[in-house]
C-alpha cells in the first residue's frame, strides 16, 4: 500500500481526481476561492498570522519558522493522527496559497503527519 500525502498543489489549482481528499490548511479562507475547491478546512493547522509575517518579511530564517510552526502543532496531535489515518485510507492533498511547497508549512505538516502513520 502506497501512502500519499501530496503538497504540490495550491488551493488555486484545478481540482483533479488524483488529489484524493483536498484539505485546506490555512488560518483564513483565501479570497476568491469557492467552497467546492476543498473537501475539508482545518484552520488550526494553518500558520499563525504573526509567524508567517515574520517569515515573509525576512525577519526570521526558514529554520526558525520551521521550529516555531512545529511548536505550534503541540496540542494538535489529534489532528495529525486523524490525517495520518486518512492518508492510510487514500490520497490526501494539503492545500494553501503558497507557491513554493518546499518553504511552506505544508512541507512541515506532511512530515509531522507521516510520523504518525507507523503508529496507526
pLDDT digits (tens, 9 = 90+) for 81-111: 999 999 999 999 999 999 999 999 999 999 9
7: three-class secondary structure by DSSP = coil
Instruction: Find out whether 18 and 89 touch, Cβ atoms under 8 Å.
Output: no
* In the chain, where the domains are located: 5-10+19-119
Residue 1 confidence (pLDDT) above 80: no
pTM: 0.94
What does the pLDDT average to over 60-85? Answer: 96
pLDDT digits (tens, 9 = 90+) for 11-59: 999 999 999 999 999 999 999 999 999 999 999 999 999 999 999 999 9
Alpha-carbon distance of 55 to 96, in angstroms, equals 16
Amino acid at each position: 500500500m502506497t501512502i500519499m500525502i501530496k503538497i504540490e498543489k495550491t488551493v488555486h489549482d484545478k481540482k483533479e481526481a488524483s488529489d484524493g481528499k483536498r484539505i485546506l490548511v490555512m488560518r483564513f479562507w483565501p479570497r476568491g476561492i469557492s467552497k467546492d475547491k476543498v473537501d475539508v478546512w482545518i484552520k488550526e493547522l494553518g500558520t499563525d498570522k504573526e509567524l508567517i509575517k515574520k517569515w515573509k518579511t525576512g525577519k526570521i530564517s526558514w529554520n526558525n519558522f520551521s521550529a516555531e510552526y512545529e511548536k505550534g502543532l503541540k496540542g494538535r496531535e489529534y489532528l495529525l493522527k486523524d490525517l495520518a489515518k486518512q492518508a492510510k485510507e487514500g490520497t490526501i492533498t494539503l492545500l494553501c496559497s503558497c507557491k513554493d511547497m518546499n518553504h511552506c508549512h505544508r512541507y512541515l505538516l506532511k512530515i509531522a503527519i507521516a510520523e504518525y502513520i507507523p503508529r496507526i
